[in-house]
Amino acid sequence: MTGPDGSRTGGVPLRVLSYNVHGQRDDTAALAAVVRAAAPDVVVVQEGPRRFRWRQKSAWLAESLGMVVAGGGLPALGNLLLTNLRVRVTRTWSQRYPLTPGRHLRGAAYAECAVPGARFVVAGSHLSTDPAERPGQAVLFKQELDAVRLPLIVGADLNENEGGAAWRTVADGLTDTAVAADRADRFTYSCGDPRTRIDGIFVDPRITVVDYDVRDTPQTRRASDHFPVLADLLLPATD
């Protein structure tokens, strides 16, 4: 059943896509087509623009995907949050993890948002490929997540699967949308040789997981080296 605002009984629908876009180094037309076809309300981007003219590049990326920039970019070291016009962004902030000499800086992006009938926070991060520094980054990310009081949605490339310490740290107390939908066997990386699930969407237990998908199509295999992860959610209605 749906209410007069289009929401399902007992919650407000929200579609979230988490996507490592590989620095837009692949087929950008395919990338745009993939995201537009998914019609998400929120896109959590990893490996978005983070260097020279990052604001313009972020705006161009958002426009190509049919979205607008909500937050992130250089302050969040390439983690970018995009929304459609249904979503109102009320506050944003970014986080940077300590630099390990010889490694890339990593960080996270956050946005407090509202849709008709509900409020929520969305967060995105991309943890290190270095197994020595990744657990520490996960702890810092989790500390920031734990401070959030609104219903929380997390999209991340954790660079390890659910057996890893960093994954367990981030997922603790949250619902893994793939597990909730009984689809944790769907690999997210790599498009050329799918072999592991290192990308995930995690949600506050107050949020209902309606559906989950890893989009594996000829277009997604051209668009990036990661498959996009899509979750249909029901947010708790605002009192």
Adjacent-strand bridge partners of 118: 115
Provide the domain count of the chain. Answer: 1
Inside any domain, residue 78: yes
Question: pLDDT at residue 67 above 70?
Answer: yes
Adjacent-strand bridge partners of 124: 109, 155
Task: Take residue 7 and report the two structure tokens written for it.
Answer: 């929401």
- Residue in the block written with tokens 């989950």: 212
Question: What phi and psi, each to the nearest 5 degrees, are found at residue 236?
Answer: -65, 135
For the chain, give the mean pLDDT: 95
Between CA 18 and CA 173 the distance in angstroms is 20
Inside any domain, residue 2: no
Q: What is the pTM of this model?
A: 0.95
Segment 152-177 mean pLDDT: 98
Residues 173-217: tens digit of each pLDDT: 999 999 999 999 999 999 999 999 999 999 999 999 999 999 999
Residue 185's pLDDT is 97
pLDDT tier, 9 (very low <50, low <70, confident <90, very high otherwise): low
Question: pLDDT at residue 2 above 80?
Answer: no
Inside any domain, residue 224: yes
Inside any domain, residue 178: yes
The enclosing domain of 113 has a CATH number of: 3.60.10.10
pLDDT tier, 100 (very low <50, low <70, confident <90, very high otherwise): confident
Between CA 120 and CA 188 the distance in angstroms is 25
Segment 59-86 mean pLDDT: 98
Residue 64's pLDDT is 98
Inside any domain, residue 51: yes
Segment 152-160 mean pLDDT: 98
Residue 239's pLDDT is 66
Residues 129-147: tens digit of each pLDDT: 999 999 999 999 999 999 9
Domain of residue 33, residue span: 13-235
Inside any domain, residue 140: yes
Strand order in the sheet with 79-83: 68-73, 79-83, 42-46, 12-20, 229-235, 208-214
Inside any domain, residue 102: yes
Residues 20-43: tens digit of each pLDDT: 999 999 999 999 999 999 999 999
Inside any domain, residue 4: no
Segment 53-77 mean pLDDT: 97
Residue 104's pLDDT is 83
pLDDT tier, 152 (very low <50, low <70, confident <90, very high otherwise): very high
Least reliable range by pLDDT among 3-12, 53-62, 116-125, 148-157: 3-12
